[in-house]
């Protein structure tokens, strides 16, 4: 049987995503990733260049996945934000990865920062083209779209960053019931924000 390099890369990537989500960059162990991927440690360094670069690649891929799966559409805000909420609920590893990244890098640069910033700029341009900040001159229109996107992402992501607060503040015994309430509240809030987005001066 011939060696399948691409299959090995995929296994390493999937094992790394689980390991980093559970333990962060500092706590992750290359040995555990290799064992879970049924690969040797040398393959990790060969394909990804080391633990730090592998962590950066995992975070970037997960961010790209949510961006490509769920575009924020200001013309269909309820649907797109609801879909985004559902995606985060189905993929809790992204929030954990981003929290670990924030804790471990602080204010410093993150792996692949320039590429990730460029991707967000593309998202912001799409929002501007969709009408966010209409009536404002540049650069205020772009700034309005950036703020709108960051606010929406925060409204969605916070529910999954602190699930215990979601349950406790809403005084729900059941996590699913709490998230269902939060989904409705987030969609309603973003719909209100979208209705007033062009009136901001």
In this predicted model, what pLDDT tens digit does every residue of 62-97 receive, in sequence order?
888 887 777 778 778 888 899 999 999 999 899 999
Q: What are residue 69's phi and psi, to 5 degrees? A: -85, -25
107: pLDDT confidence band, cut at 50, 70 and 90? confident
The mean pLDDT of the chain is: 88
Please indicate whether residue 71 or residue 130 has the higher confidence score (pLDDT).
Answer: 130
Confidence of residue 200 (pLDDT cuts 50, 70, 90): very low
Mean pLDDT of 166-189: 90
pTM: 0.84
Predicted local distance difference test score (pLDDT) of residue 74: 73
Distance CA 123, CA 192 (A): 21
Any idea of the CA torsion for 39, 42, 43, 47, to the nearest 10 degrees?
Answer: 150
User: What's the CA gap between 177 and 159, in Å, rounded?
Assistant: 13
Sorted by where each starts, the structural domains of the chain and their CATH numbers stand as: 61-199 (1.10.357.10)
- Minimum mean pLDDT among 68-72, 141-145, 188-192, 193-197: which range? 193-197
Within 130-174, residue ranges assigned H as helices are: 140-161, 163-169
Q: Which pLDDT score, from 0 to 100, does residue 1 have?
A: 46
Q: Write the DSSP assignment of 87-128 as a string of letters.
A: HHHH-THHHHHHHHHHHHHTTS--TTHHHHHHHHHHHHHHHH
Could you give the maximum distance between any two Cα atoms of the chain, in Å?
A: 65
Q: Bigger pLDDT: 117 or 195?
A: 117
3 band by pLDDT with thresholds 50, 70 and 90: low
Count of Cβ atoms closer than 10 Å to residue 198 Cβ:
15
Element spanning 185, H or E:
helix 175-195
Residue 133 has pLDDT above 90, yes or no: no
pLDDT band at residue 116 under the 50/70/90 scheme: confident
């Amino acid at each position: 049987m011939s060696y399948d390099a691409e299959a090995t890369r995929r296994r390493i990537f999937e094992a790394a995503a689980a390991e980093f989500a559970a333990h962060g960059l500092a706590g992750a162990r290359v040995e555990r990733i290799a064992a879970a991927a049924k690969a040797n440690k040398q393959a990790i360094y060969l394909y990804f260049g080391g633990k730090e670069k592998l962590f950066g690649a995992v975070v970037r891929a997960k961010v790209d996945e949510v961006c490509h799966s769920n575009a924020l559409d200001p013309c269909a805000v309820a649907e797109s934000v609801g879909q985004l909420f559902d995606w985060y609920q189905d993929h809790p590893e992204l929030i954990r990865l981003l929290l670990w990244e924030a804790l471990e890098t602080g204010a410093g640069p993150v792996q692949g920062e320039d590429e990730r910033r460029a991707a967000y700029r593309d998202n912001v341009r799409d929002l501007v083209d969709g009408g966010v900040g209409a009536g404002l001159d540049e650069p205020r229109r772009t700034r309005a779209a950036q703020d709108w996107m960051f606010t929406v992402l925060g409204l969605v992501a916070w529910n999954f960053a602190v699930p215990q607060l979601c349950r406790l503040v809403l005084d729900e015994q059941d996590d699913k019931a709490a998230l269902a309430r939060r989904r409705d509240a987030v969609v309603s809030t973003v719909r209100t924000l979208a209705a007033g987005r062009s009136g901001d001066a």
